[in-house]
Structure 1
Amino acid sequence: MKSLQGHPRLSLLSFLTGSSHFVKHLQFTSWPDHGTPASVDGFIKYVRYVRKSHLTGPMLVHCSAGVGRTGVFLCVDVVFCAIEKNFPFNIKNIVTQMREQRYGMIQTKEQYFFCYKVVLEVLQKILTLD
């Protein structure tokens, strides 16, 4: 995982309204296109960091095509939300719903399995805390 510290913080100014908005740019640079991160733990740390860094307003998540790595991140984020609220979840259904909104979300079976690996790791860590 790279670039967690010192991420750029940009200010956007609307010339029409005079309003400004801050944008924090976070980037996971060690994730190959059509592949998965080398470390489940590193990805979990990154997702938690993004979630902690994002307190208000919309979040924009995007990779090169906007479906593979983006889909994995979004699926894991949805599951993290469900876990935090003690809601039931079904990864297959989450991916199906995402694909109804954007064709091709999560491009490869490796990316799909990676979602399960991440969730399994998080749940195992929760169980060891109890």
Structure 2
Amino acid sequence: MAKNKFHDGPGPSQRQLRVGELIRRTLSEVLARGDVHDPDLNRMSITVGEVRTSPDLKIATAFVLPLGGKGQEDVLKLLARNKSELRRMVGKKLGLKFTPDLRFRLDETFDQMDDTRRMLSQDAVRRDVEE
């Protein structure tokens, strides 16, 4: 059977999912408590929606969004500026053999959910769904 070049494989392993969730929780706690030595970052409320790890667990991509969605670019810059401190905190808390390199991306799932809700609330769509 030929492998589809657009398919990413079988999906994340249980280990990837477990480590990603542990990193997500740790980042959320650290950011909520304001443990980072950056007052600009500590002033912001940031949601960490998901963390995906690479198959070798060397890279962890955190999908983040500032509360209210305002200042998205600022959040990414502040997180990038404090990446090494955040990585050190995650490694210390989790006790992993190797702490993944952290990457930060905007979490767009909230926008997608809002778009879906708007679409489902349209009269024409609601009529079709109810039939």
TM-score with structure 1 setting the length: 0.27
Q: Which has the higher helix share?
A: 2
Q: Which has the higher strand share?
A: 2
Larger Rg: 2
